[in-house]
Amino acid sequence: MSDSKDELEAVQAALGAEHAAVYGYGVVGGRTGEGRRAEARTAYDAHRARRDELQRAVRDLGGEPEPSAAAYALPFAVPDSAAAVRLATELEERVAGVYADLVRASTGARRRSAAEALREAAVRAARWRGGSVTFPGLAERAAGAASEPPKA
């Protein structure tokens, strides 16, 4: 059973990640090549829909949704299409991470929705990256698995 305070915090964190993803995809869409622009637009629309869903969830839990910032710091410069693809991958990995936290903090329909959002972000990240990772949304496990030798 989840604690409602923890669940509200996890929903707010997911909302913050979706705000940042919507902003970031504005940059991606402006810098990505013509061949991937439709993919960027589809992701942008998906993140806007999730953002709106999370705003309702925060209210359902008795909270006030955190507003979007006017701008977000990008993790690196995005001067060209290759950097835009890296940014899209990074955005999806970050979103997957917060949805993994929301899966842990919630139950029932909200947990199912968070798991679906995690899956969608992992699939989009794999498409942008051109391959998948072992533990989508769990960067610390993926990084640890890559650096640890197999156990006998």
Amino acid present at 129: R
Per the listing, tokens 């890559």 go with 146
The position carrying tokens 């940014």 is 87
At 145, is the pLDDT very low, low, confident or very high (cuts 50, 70, 90)?
Answer: very low
How much is the mean pLDDT over the chain? 89
CB atoms within 10 A of CB 123: 14
The pTM for the full model equals 0.84
Mean pLDDT along residues 130-152: 51
Distance between CA atoms of 100 and 10, rounded to whole angstroms? Answer: 9
pLDDT band at 131 (very low <50, low <70, confident <90, very high): confident
Q: What is the pLDDT of residue 132?
A: 66
Tokens 């940042």, residue located: 20
For residue 91, is pLDDT > 70? yes
Mean pLDDT for 103-108 is: 96
H helix runs in the chain, sequence order? 4-31, 34-60, 81-105, 108-129, 139-147
